[in-house]
Chains A and B, each alone.
Chain A
Amino acid sequence: GAGVSQSPSNKVTEKGKDVELRCDPISGHTALYWYRQSLGQGLEFLIYFQGNSAPDKSGLPSDRFSAERTGGSVSTLTIQRTQQEDSAVYLCASSPETGPNTGELFFGEGSRLTVL
Chain B
Amino acid sequence: SQQGEEDPQALSIQEGENATMNCSYKTSINNLQWYRQNSGRGLVHLILIRSNEREKHSGRLRVTLDTSKKSSSLLITASRAADTASYFCATQLVFGAGTILRVKS
Q: Is the pair B98, A42 in contact by a Cβ cutoff of 8 Å?
A: yes
B96 partner residues in chain A, CB cutoff 8 A: 42
How extensive is the interface on chain B, given as a class? Answer: 20 to 34
A65 partner residues in chain B, CB cutoff 8 A: none
Given contacts A42-B97, A45-B94, A109-B41, whether A101 and B31 have CB atoms under 8 Å apart is yes
Contacts A/B (CB < 8 Å), 11 sampled: A35-B95, A43-B43, A59-B93, A91-B43, A101-B93, A103-B48, A106-B45, A107-B42, A107-B43, A109-B41, A109-B42
Known contacts A101-B31, A103-B48; 9 further A-B pairs (Cβ under 8 A): A35-B95, A42-B97, A43-B95, A56-B93, A89-B40, A91-B43, A100-B93, A101-B33, A105-B43
